[in-house]
Amino acid sequence: MSDRSASDPSRSARPDAVRVRVNRGGPMMIPGPVNIELPDGTHVTSDRFQVAVCACGRSRTYPLCDTSHRRRRPSPSA
């Protein structure tokens, strides 16, 4: 289910909804603390006030971001 009206931060579907900031080419920023469940059932926890979750898949500390997206090589068409 997609709610395009949610693009306006002042119009949240629920007042208690967690705000996740998606950065193009970078991580998703989630207010912490968090408990992330991975597909294999293991959990990764962080008690930080803001948690960067990897969106590029290159992180050596996946699912947490290690800024590997910054070292991306330019595409040959660029």
In the block, residue with structure tokens 């960067």 = 52
* pLDDT for 70: 84
Does the pTM surpass 0.85? The reply is: no
SS3 7: helix
pLDDT tens, position by position, for the chain (78 residues)? 445 445 555 555 678 888 899 988 889 999 999 999 999 999 999 999 999 999 988 999 999 999 988 876 655 654
Distances (CA, A) of 10 to 2, 14, 27: 17, 11, 22
Q: For residues 29 and 23, give the distance between their C-alpha atoms in angstroms, rounded to a whole number.
A: 8
Helices and strands (DSSP H and E) totals, the chain: 0, 5
Look at residue 75 in the predicted model and tell me its pLDDT.
Answer: 57
